Amino acid sequence: MKLFCLSAVLTGAVVTPAVACDICSVFSAAQARGEIGKGFFGGVAEQFTHFGTMQDQGMKVANPAGQYLDSSVSQIFAGYNFNELFGLQLNVPVIYRSFKRPEDLTIDRGTESGVGDVLLIGHFQPYRHEEKKFTFSWKVLGGIKFPTGSTRRLHEEVDELTAPPPPPGALASGIHGHDLTLGSGSYDGIVGTGIFLNSHRCFLTTSAQYAIRSTGDFDYHFADDLTWAGGPGLFLVLKEEYTLALQLNVSGERKDRDTFQGVTADDTGVTAVYLGPQINFTWPDKLSAEIGVDLPMSINNTALQSVPDYRIRAGVTRHF
């Protein structure tokens, strides 16, 4: 299931603003991203993923039909920090997908779009330590995903059970209903944690999120999945007016195979690692933006699947 939900804010620099100018800038940057400071914040985040490579059991295979899937997930989010420790955030994904795949002896082209599964998350900061040139903070989160997205495409899994055998010469598709669906039809739990470490102009972020799935529409059960991200970074510019940071981001995911009507869906498991740069920019203590690119370093998948060639992420946050 290629949904790639964006998690709530997990990391933040928390220092007192009555210290050196560089540290003031770090504080303002965290506040601009909505990570600290009481009040409302909101924004939009976009992730575009191009699936143009076919793999079978982790090995690249030919793609004579030129099948592909382009997936765009725009997350509109809003939240409120009740204090420096606790806040809530609501994510509403708007999804657009276009695809090309073989269907028997013909080629099927189409699009799928609409609102995905809405996510409500609470985040809490149980520990932080701050000095003049050093900051460490730890956050945890928990939430629930609601079945608001259409599951019309999941019905393809039912259709495949009753479809006649493909004719001789037909090409196998690596794009199925579980890849195109906008929602799962299930209530799912989300738990996660994140760490931010800052020393002078250097920083390190790490975060992990685990999705606990339940059975949804058509008796389809998406497998639990683990996603993680993080890496070292450097503040290239630290001023009270704005900050500019460059980070090397390492991310990954681990998902087992789904089950459909009690039977394992072989073409749904994946373990992947991505690497790429990310640029973060903030203006005073109200507005922030980021953009990053993820390139696959390793993808080990089960059966025949379309896998990502690259991902592009961008986002803007306004702290009121």
Q: Which residues have a Cβ under 8 Å from the Cβ of 24 and sit 6 or more positions away?
A: 17, 240
Amino acid at 262: G
- For residue 302, the model assigns a pLDDT of 97
Residue 205 has what DSSP assignment?
E
Give the integer Cα–Cα distance in Å for 151 and 179: 11
Give the tokens for residue 101.
Answer: 């795949």
- For residue 24, the model assigns a pLDDT of 40
- For residue 36, the model assigns a pLDDT of 56
User: Would you write out the chain's pLDDT as a tens digit for each of its 320 residues?
Assistant: 554 443 333 333 322 222 233 434 444 444 445 555 688 989 999 999 999 999 999 999 999 999 999 999 999 999 999 988 899 999 999 999 999 999 989 999 999 999 999 999 999 999 988 887 888 989 999 999 999 999 999 999 998 888 888 899 899 999 999 999 999 999 999 999 999 999 989 999 999 999 999 999 999 999 999 999 999 999 999 887 888 999 999 999 999 999 999 999 999 999 999 999 999 998 877 888 999 999 999 999 999 999 999 999 998 888 88
For domain 21-312, the CATH architecture is Beta Barrel (2.40)
DSSP-based three-state secondary structure for 155:
helix
- For residue 22, the model assigns a pLDDT of 40
- For residue 1, the model assigns a pLDDT of 57
Amino acid at 209: Q
Residue with tokens 């940071």: 245
C-beta of residue 125 within 8 angstroms of C-beta of residue 85: yes
